[in-house]
């Protein structure tokens, strides 16, 4: 069984001078004086600030000149998730050149040179023999979805048909290779093409792999596809697979119904001591629900399925790092990215004071030297912060059908 796991570790404009312009004068002296002043007197440099400073700072720290997103806390590994998120952020930031480089690097290195034929491999980095290459060829569905979405919206907002068509082709391949029918649940997404159906009656699913705005947009753009049904399956996962109102990392579905589960490795090993938890994956459930348009079909009911985090933060200063399926906090202090992730969720639920407290925690950890958040500027924390603060500052929003609304395009 090939299993994708998420491990989070801590890790450690120029201005321009305008060309002097000779004014029109009534006499040669005035002209000469004007020219002299234009040459001699200093003219202040004018630097144009980046449209989205945090994205600019993130890109400087984590994206190389080729368009590769580097997780420095994981031996400089690159994941398809990191590439997909960065492509989305590049669209939000109107960063067309970087979007192109991110796409080109992804296609060349993760998709055997052709995203129309191959879903991207999820992990690329330094192999034991010292070579840099694909480490695990298995695709990751959440990355695939965000990549397809970013391409479709890049095509629409930048009026580039190639991007839009490539996004549609990628979505069709996701539907073919990663969408499954699970008895008792219906049509849904498994986390990858293989490795998540350990026995005849069980599928192991990850609720954080189903972001409602992305699924709503695919349903709107490709109404003949499975996306409306896939979106509906998230409701069943959260209603029956949550732990006392908390989202869980993993859910089991099939002949035994829908319920919280241990992760695929623990399931395969029959680890009797392991318990289902909500942690690094599950925190994205709150994030995706919070940044969704509340009018997107099903979103209000989804929010009502996971009230546990909002209730917990009424009397606790930080989100828990991990909770079990009874809602008990196994580890109370989540990283600063967790605080970022829950801000839109709390705001949407009108828990304004809790949302403000978590945003305060985030900004209290900002490093003035690099503009990033948290001690060591952990890669995953920055991604969560980009989604959260980008939404809070209205660099982007989604409409009810999942279309991206960006600050730089008022249409």
- 47-86 burial: b if 16+ Cβ within 10 Å, else e: eeeeebebbbbbbebbbeeebbbbbbbbeebbbbbbbbbb
Identify the three-state secondary structure at position 276: coil
Bridge partners of residue 179, in order along the sequence: 189
Return the structure tokens found at 216: 């709503």
DSSP 8-state class, residue 201: T
DSSP 8-state class, residue 283: H
Per-residue model confidence as pLDDT tens for the chain (411 residues): 444 443 333 333 333 333 333 333 444 433 343 333 334 344 344 445 568 999 999 999 999 999 999 999 899 999 999 999 999 999 999 999 999 999 999 999 999 999 999 999 999 999 999 999 999 999 999 999 999 999 999 999 999 999 999 999 999 999 999 999 999 999 999 999 999 999 999 999 999 999 999 999 999 999 999 999 999 999 999 999 998 999 999 999 998 899 999 999 999 999 989 999 999 999 999 999 999 999 999 999 999 999 999 999 999 999 999 999 999 999 999 999 999 999 999 999 999 999 999 999 999 999 999 999 998 999 999 999 999 999 999 999 999 999 999 999 976
Q: Which residues are catalytic?
A: 81, 142
Return the structure tokens found at 407: 């600050």
Closest residue by Cα to residue 167 from 97, 102, 103:
103
Residue with structure tokens 């490539």? 166
Where do the domains of the chain lie, and which CATH numbers do they carry?
Answer: 50-177 (1.50.10.10)
pTM score of the predicted model: 0.88
In whole angstroms, how far apart are CA 72 and each of 63, 79, 92, 106, 368?
11, 12, 24, 18, 20
Other CB atoms within 10 A of residue 127 CB:
11
Residues 6+ apart with CB under 8 A from 239: 258, 305
């Amino acid at each position: 069984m090939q299993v994708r796991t998420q491990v989070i570790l801590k890790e450690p404009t120029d201005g321009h001078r305008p060309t002097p312009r000779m004014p029109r004068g009534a006499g040669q002296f005035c002209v000469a004086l004007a020219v002299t002043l234009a040459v001699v007197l200093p003219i202040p440099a004018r630097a144009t600030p980046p449209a989205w400073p945090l994205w600019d700072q993130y890109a400087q720290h984590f994206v190389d000149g080729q368009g590769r997103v580097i997780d420095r806390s994981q031996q400089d590994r690159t994941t398809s998730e990191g590439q997909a998120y960065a492509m989305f952020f590049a669209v939000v930031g109107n960063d067309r050149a970087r979007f192109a480089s991110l796409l080109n690097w992804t296609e060349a290195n993760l998709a055997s040179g052709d995203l129309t034929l191959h879903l991207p491999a999820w992990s690329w980095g330094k192999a034991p023999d010292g070579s840099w290459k694909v480490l695990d060829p298995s695709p990751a569905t959440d990355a695939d979805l965000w990549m397809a979405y970013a391409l479709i919206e890049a095509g629409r907002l930048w009026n580039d048909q190639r991007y839009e068509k490539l996004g549609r082709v990628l979505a069709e391949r996701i539907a073919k290779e990663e969408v499954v029918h699970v008895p008792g649940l219906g049509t849904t997404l498994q986390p990858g093409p293989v490795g998540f159906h350990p026995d005849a009656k069980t599928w192991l699913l990850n609720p954080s792999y189903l972001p409602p705005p992305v699924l709503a947009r695919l349903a709107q753009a490709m109404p003949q596809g499975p996306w409306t049904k896939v979106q509906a399956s998230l409701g069943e996962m959260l209603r029956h697979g949550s732990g006392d109102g908390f989202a869980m990392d993993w859910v089991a579905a099939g002949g035994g119904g829908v319920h919280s589960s241990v992760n695929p490795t623990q399931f395969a090993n029959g680890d009797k001591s392991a318990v289902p938890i909500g942690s690094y994956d599950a925190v994205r459930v709150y994030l995706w629900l919070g940044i969704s348009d509340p009018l997107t079909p099903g979103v209000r009911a989804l929010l009502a399925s996971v009230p546990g985090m909002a209730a917990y933060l009424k009397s606790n200063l930080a989100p828990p790092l991990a909770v079990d399926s009874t809602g008990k906090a196994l580890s109370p202090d989540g990283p600063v990215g967790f605080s970022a992730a829950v801000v839109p969720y709390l705001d949407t639920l009108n828990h304004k004071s809790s949302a403000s407290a978590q945003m305060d925690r985030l900004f209290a950890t900002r490093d003035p030297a690099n503009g990033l958040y948290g001690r060591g500027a952990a890669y995953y924390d920055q991604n969560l912060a980009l989604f959260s603060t980008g939404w809070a500052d209205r660099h982007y929003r989604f409409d009810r059908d999942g279309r991206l609304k960006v600050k730089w395009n008022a249409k």
